[in-house]
Chains A and B, each alone.
Chain A
Amino acid sequence: MVQPARKLNGSRLVRFAWLPLCLVLAACHVDMYDQPRYQPNQVSTFFRDGRAMRPPVENTVAIGSFDPDSALLTGKVNGELASELPVELTAELLEHGRTRYDAYCAPCHGIAGDGNGVIAYRGPLQVPSLHQDRLRTVAIGYFFEVITNGVNRMYSYANRIPPEDRWAVAAYVRALQLSQYADVNDLSAEERQQLGVK
């Protein structure tokens, strides 16, 4: 056999087409998967307390999150508990308040507000009923105040329920109270008939 002249022609080059595949090996690392940035709740070795999420400096508030004159944010008007909602009372507000109440309050206060939630039962914890004269006639800002700052053994829920939602809960609590203490004269004729009133 006669050896052909060693020339770098096209077909010879094709034999080395696999070489770029070696570049694939260079992609075997995870720094796109774990990029050098922090995720929420990640552990940090940079900060002394080990938290990547930085808690705000004590006694600071974010811009727009506090206004001492705003009833919406403080629950108070001129230092007194607000007796009216600082937001409009609508069916949507009550419905929204219902979802908040069922998620955050019902474990202890009970779905019906009688203080017999599943947690209260299992604790067992003494949880006051929402259906008492004092709470029926208290200014509605009181519920806002309690959710914001807690009361007795109840912790503050301010970091879980934003101010607008707290008012929704307060309004829903009033609906709950009304549902357990309604005047029969406010009901329609059919409803009264159903209850057996002449």
Chain B
Amino acid sequence: MSHHGHELAEGAAAESVAAGYELADVRARPLWISIAVIFALLAFAYVVITVLVFAVGEPLRDPTYAVDVTSPQVPVGPLVEANPNVDGRRIVNEATEHLESYGWVSQRQGIVHIPIERSMELLLEQGVNPFGQ
């Protein structure tokens, strides 16, 4: 900005001095320094926030996770089902377990239930009509 100031070799006119006008040119250095300081502070703030986020160990949360997954909030009763997830998981887990295990259906008739993987092997041997028509 200094080239906009008028460098007057002969100095300020007497009437300017008398009228109290500014005599010195604008100084650019403090201006640049303060801009640099502001940006340095911004960078510093960014670093501090990043460090804090890492230190706390909890990342900034995705706004799509509106619901706390770990502890679902349950409204006050009466409730039809306190935690609807439990029954669903129980049913699926029981069925999956059953489908992966051996056991008797009827010991007298010699009927067993077997894991589905084994059953698929057997079906490949016996064809699609293992019980006849």
Contact = CB atoms under 8 A, between A and B. Distances in A.
B95 A178 contact: no
B111 to A, nearest CB: 6
B130 A174 contact: yes
Interface of A: 83-85, 89-91, 94-95, 98, 110-112, 114, 116-118, 121-122, 136-137, 139-140, 170-172, 174-187, 191, 194-195
Contact of A89 (B91, B104, B128): B128
B50 interface: no
A85 to B, nearest CB: 5
Interface residues of B, number: 35
A177 B128 CA distance: 11
Interface stretch (B20-28, B68-76, B116-124): B116-124
Which A-B residue pairs are the 7 nearest by beta carbons? A179-B119, A111-B95, A112-B95, A136-B131, A184-B110, A118-B88, A94-B120
B119 A175 contact: yes
B102 A195 contact: yes
A47 B116 CA distance: 50
Contacts of A179: 99, 113-116, 118-119
A20 B120 CA distance: 70
Contact of B128 (A84, A95, A121, A187): A84
B92 A118 contact: yes
B91 to A, nearest CB: 5
B2 interface: no
B91 A182 contact: no
Interface of B: 84, 87-88, 91-92, 95-96, 98-99, 102-105, 110-116, 118-124, 126-133
Nearest to A136: B131
B92 A182 contact: no
Contact of A91 (B124, B126, B127): B124
Identify the interface centre among A110, A117, A181: most chain B CB within 10 Å of its CB: A181
B95 A114 contact: yes
9 contacts: A89-B123, A111-B99, A114-B95, A117-B91, A121-B91, A139-B133, A178-B119, A178-B122, A186-B122
